[in-house]
Amino acid sequence: ESLPVDEAIRLNQIGFYPNQQKLAVILNHEDVEDFVIWDTAGKNIVFEGKLAQTIKQSFSGNNARIADFSAFTEVGNYTLVLNGVGKSYSFQIHPQINQELGKASIKAFYFQRAGLELDQSQAGIWARPLGHPDDQVMIHPSAASGSRKPGDLFSSPKGWYDAGDYNKYVVNSGITVGTLLSLYEDYPTYFDKLELNIPESGDQIPDLLDEIRWNMEWMLSMQDPADGGVYHKLTTAKFEGMVEPHLAVSQRYFVAKSTTATLDFAAVMAQASRIYKAYFPEESVMYLKAAEKAWSWAKANPDVLYKQNELNEAFDPDVVTGAYGDNSSGDEWIWAASELFITTHNLTYWEELANADQSFKLPSWNQVAWLGYYSLLRHQDHITLLPQEWIAMLKINLLAAAREQIEGTEETAFNTPMETDSKNFIWGSNAVAANQGILLISAFKQSNERIFLEKALDNLDYILGRNATGYSYVTGFGTKSPMHPHHRLATSRPDLPPLPGFMVGGPNPRQQDGCNYTSSFPDESYTDESCSYASNEIAINWNAPFAYLANSLEAINQ
Ligand code: G3I
Ligand code: 9MR
Burial string for 439-473 (b: 16+ CB within 10 Å, else e) reads bbbbbbbbeeeeebbbbbbbbbbbbbbbbbbbbbb
Residue 504's closest CA among 544, 466, 475?
475
* Prediction pTM value: 0.98
CB of 513 closer than 6 angstroms to any ligand 2 atom: no
Tell me which residue has its CA closest to atom 4 in ligand 2: 165
The answer to whether the Cα torsion of 266, 272, 273, 275 is positive or negative is positive
Spatial CB neighbours of 402, under 8 Å, sequence gap ≥ 6: 439, 440, 442, 443, 452
What pLDDT is recorded for position 337? 98
Spatial CB neighbours of 85, under 8 Å, sequence gap ≥ 6: 3, 6, 29, 32
- Write out pLDDT tens, residues 205-237: 999 999 999 999 999 999 999 999 999 999 999
Would you call 48 a catalytic residue per the annotation? Answer: no
CB 453 within 8 A of CB 440: yes
What pLDDT is recorded for position 380? 96
What pLDDT is recorded for position 41? 80
| 3-state SS class at 78 | strand
How far apart are the CA of 512 and the centre of ligand 1, in A? 10
Would you call 379 a catalytic residue per the annotation? Answer: no
ipTM: 0.96
Tell me which residue has its CA closest to atom 5 in ligand 2: 533
- Write out pLDDT tens, residues 277-301: 999 999 999 999 999 999 999 999 9
Distance CA 187, CA 112 (A): 24
What pLDDT is recorded for position 43? 81
The answer to whether the Cα torsion of 472, 476, 479, 482 is positive or negative is positive
- Write out pLDDT tens, residues 254-275: 999 999 999 999 999 999 999 9
- Tell me yes or no: is domain 9-93 CATH 2.60.40.10: yes
The answer to whether the Cα torsion of 425, 10, 54, 438 is positive or negative is negative
Given the residues 486, 487, 513, 524, select the one marked as catalytic.
Answer: 486
Would you call 217 a catalytic residue per the annotation? Answer: no
CB of 322 closer than 6 angstroms to any ligand 1 atom: yes
CB 409 within 8 A of CB 417: yes
> Do the two domains 9-93 and 99-468+537-556 of this chain adopt the same fold?
no
Would you say residue 1 has pLDDT above 60? Answer: no
Percent of the chain with pLDDT over 90: 98
Residues 311-316, mean pLDDT to the nearest whole number: 98
Q: Which atom of ligand 2 is nearest to the CA of 322?
A: 9
99-468+537-556, what's its fold? Glycosyltransferase (1.50.10)
Would you list the domain boundaries of the chain?
9-93, 99-468+537-556
DSSP element (H, E) containing 235: strand 231-235
How far apart are the CA of 510 and the centre of ligand 1, in A? 10
For 302, other C-beta atoms within 10 Å of its C-beta total: 11
Distance CA 30, CA 13 (A): 23
